[in-house]
A and B are shown apart, each in its own frame.
Chain A
Amino acid sequence: ELKVEQNPLFLSMQEGKNYTIYCNYSTTSDRLYWYRQDPGKSLESLFVLLSNGAVKQEGRLMASLDTKARLSTLHITAAVHDLSATYFCAVDGAKLIFGQGTELSVKP
């Protein structure tokens, strides 16, 4: 059974700092998704990673996928307050299974 684990679950950052969110999963898959969720809102798609070694970047966020290690990372560069949200990874192994989410708070 596919299990997806994120860490950390809570992350308080200062503006301008860098940090990484990790997403580990338990069975083979080559499709991984990152989503952002603002409080009270739905999920917004950030990245779709479809193969080993895939790297995608959008603004201050960069996501990568290592299918051999069953690990994806979401790297935040020079954080700003607008990035405060909850971030989810999800792995597609016939069904889309989510990690617990990482609640990110960026403070001045």
Chain B
Amino acid sequence: DAGITQSPRHKVTETGTPVTLRCHQTENHRYMYWYRQDPGHGLRLIHYSYGVKDTDKGEVSDGYSVSRSKTEDFLLTLESATSSQTSVYFCATRTLTGGGYGYTFGSGTRLTVV
């Protein structure tokens, strides 16, 4: 979606190093989310934010931290990357449409931890 940009799109990193993924939105949405996608598990919620400096944990938050210092940016940090964090990471925003809430997803970041 043109309103959500994830960076980088691909990254290979070594075990034990910190990694930060960025999600940038241009639509001024209050709610933002980080998911990881793994085969057989669908998308699992890591952390989400309901405003600047307001964040909460999702289903699989261990080993991850987030920060939101501006409405448009939601950062996901792997404090010390492990091979189990090899995954595709998606950012999403919640939008208010005529029919209620909808969710829009970014293009994803493919992270490989070696």
CB within 8 A of B45: which of A43, A88, A95? Answer: A95
Task: State A41–B103 Cα separation when bound (angstroms).
Answer: 16
Minimum CB–CB distance for B66 against chain A, Å: 14
Minimum CB–CB distance for A99 against chain B, Å: 6
**Chain B facing A: main interface SS:** strand
Interface: B23 (CB within 8 A) = no
B101 contacts across to A, CB distance below 8 A: 31, 92
On chain A, the number of residues with a Cβ less than 8 Å from chain B's Cβ atoms is 21
Interface: B12 (CB within 8 A) = no
In this complex, the interface size class of chain B, counting residues with CB under 8 Å from chain A, is 20 to 34
Minimum CB–CB distance for A3 against chain B, Å: 10
Q: Let me know if A98 and B42 touch, CB within 8 A.
A: yes
Task: State A20–B17 Cα separation when bound (angstroms).
Answer: 45
Q: Let me know if A100 and B58 touch, CB within 8 A.
A: no
A98 contacts across to B, CB distance below 8 A: 35, 42-44
Chain B positions within 8 Å of A, measured between CB atoms, are: 1, 33, 35, 40-45, 48, 58-59, 90, 92, 94, 97, 99-108
Chain A positions within 8 Å of B, measured between CB atoms, are: 4, 6, 9, 31, 33, 41-43, 45, 48, 50, 88, 90, 92, 95-101
